[in-house]
Amino acid sequence: MTINYSKAYRNPEISRSLAAQIKATCNRPIRLMEVCGTHTMAIFRHGIRSLLPDDISLLSGPGCPVCVTAQADIDAFVALARREQVIIATFGDLMRVPGSGSSLQKESAAGADVRVVYSPMDAVRLARENLHKKVVFLGVGFETTAPTIGAAMMMARQYELENFFVYSAHKTVPPALAALMANPDVRIDGFILPGHVSVIIGTRAYQPFFDAFRLPCVVTGFEPVDILQGVLQLVQMLAQGTPGLANAYPRAVTDEGNAQARQVMTQVFTPCDAPWRGLGVIPGSGLALGGAFAVFDAVAHFDLQVTETPEPKGCACGEILCGTKTPSQCTLFRNVCTPMNPVGPCMVSSEGTCAAYYRFST
């Protein structure tokens, strides 16, 4: 049953009541994965773990877009930044992610023109203001950000810009869930599904995954009551042996999602196989630029060779993104790898699991 808590999603009394119900219902050790990095941060920030019984393990999943971006893509971003007459436009999280030999931040310090933007529309504006240069927006994100980047390309098309490009490293969530389940080392009893991705794709997008694996799945939001309500529904499904696909975030998520945003995605992108850090190449999980929008493709325009490169030695980001290790099981955590000196992307990103553990756990 979904309870509509309306505006009471930060009410401590409701949180305590939900936590008590979870404790009373949980009848065995269970492992729940919060797929999304925003959930990981929210769970730490609100102290949700301290409210749950020891029998419930919360695992972080592959839902931080910067963290799952393949090392080869990071290296390609660096290679692009080194090109003459190129302006790189990127969200800030990517700046410090270490590639094989450099990072965007280091390239910027060495003289490359790398600009942090807050919206892909800012990158379009940069292109209009710098017609003698080529502006490349680094498209990293899931279904949440892809529509806005698609809309930016539509805008660039209207302006007939010939100096605006997008490196599309976008990924989609449902194929990653199936890829996780194919990994024999992964043990998950239920999924806390991402609220913001689901605003766009709707709960129905998970139906094929649910039908294939019959694991409890609940879409939920990011406030304490949202998260606890999602956990309670998962625990109830497991206790009763009645797995389901539920929506504990009805104030934002519908069955069908945002039709307009999905239409933009369909117009601009076409599914492709994509490499994920930790999960390898997942068929149909990427978003390439398609049709009339292929002209914006930075990889094709700059004839970039994106080849597989090894991940940082000793870094366990891959296992952490699959929920088979926690940051404290990485030998580099805290002693070598810190937010000031990140070895892997999970320590850099504001949604990274290692960054969350570093900041909130002792």
Positions that interact with ligand SF4 (CB under 6 A): 315-317, 320, 327, 330, 332-333, 337, 343-344, 346-347, 354
Query: Crossing angle of helices 224-240/12-25, nearest 10°?
Result: 20
Nearer to ligand SF4, 247 or 349 (CB): 349
Q: Say which DSSP state 155 is in.
A: H
Helices 37-45 & 224-240, crossing angle to 10 degrees?
110
String of b and e for 1-24 (b: at least 16 CB within 10 Å)? eeeebeeebeeeebbeebbebbee
CB of 283 to ligand SF4, least distance (A): 26
C-beta of residue 171 within 8 angstroms of C-beta of residue 285: yes
Q: How far is the CB of 2 from ligand SF4 (least distance, A)?
A: 35
- Which residue reads 């450099």 in tokens? 102
Q: Are 81 and 53 in contact (CB under 8 A)?
A: no
3-state secondary structure of 284: strand
- What is the identity of the amino acid at 218? V
Answer yes or no: are the C-beta atoms of 106 and 143 closer than 8 Å.
Answer: no
Quote the least distance from Cβ 61 to ligand SF4, whole Å: 14
Within a 13 Å sphere around the CA of 39, how many CA atoms are in the beta-carbon half? Answer: 28
Query: Which amino acid would we find at residue 358?
Result: Y
Could you tell me the smallest distance in angstroms from the CB atom of residue 301 to ligand SF4?
32
The per-residue b/e assignment along 327-355, b for 16 or more CB within 10 angstroms, e otherwise, is beebebbeeebeeeebbbbbbbbebbbbb
User: What is the smallest separation between the CB atom of 3 and ligand SF4, expressed in angstroms?
Assistant: 37
Residue among 304 and 315 whose Cβ is closer to ligand SF4: 315
Between strands 30-36 and 56-63, the pairing is: parallel
In the complex, the smallest distance separating the C-beta of residue 337 from ligand SF4, rounded to whole angstroms, is: 3
Kindly tell me which of 224 and 275 has the beta carbon lying closer to ligand SF4.
Answer: 275
Instruction: CB nearer to ligand SF4: give 119 or 338.
Output: 338
| Closest CB to ligand SF4 among residues 86, 346 | 346
Q: What is the DSSP string of 295-333?
A: GGBHHHHTT------PPPTT--HHHHHHTSS-GGGSTTB
State which residue, 102 or 198, has the beta carbon closest to ligand SF4: 102
Residue 79's identity, in one-letter code, is: A
CA distance readout (Å), 256 to 147, 237, 277: 16, 23, 29
Name the closest residue to ligand SF4 (Cβ): 344
Residue 310 Cβ, how far from ligand SF4 at the closest point, in Å?
13
Q: CB-wise, 41 or 346, nearer to ligand SF4?
A: 346
d(CA 56, CA 54): 5
Shortest approach of ligand SF4 to residue 314 CB, angstroms?
6
**Rounded to the nearest whole angstrom, what is the least distance from the CB of residue 316 to ligand SF4 in the complex?**
4
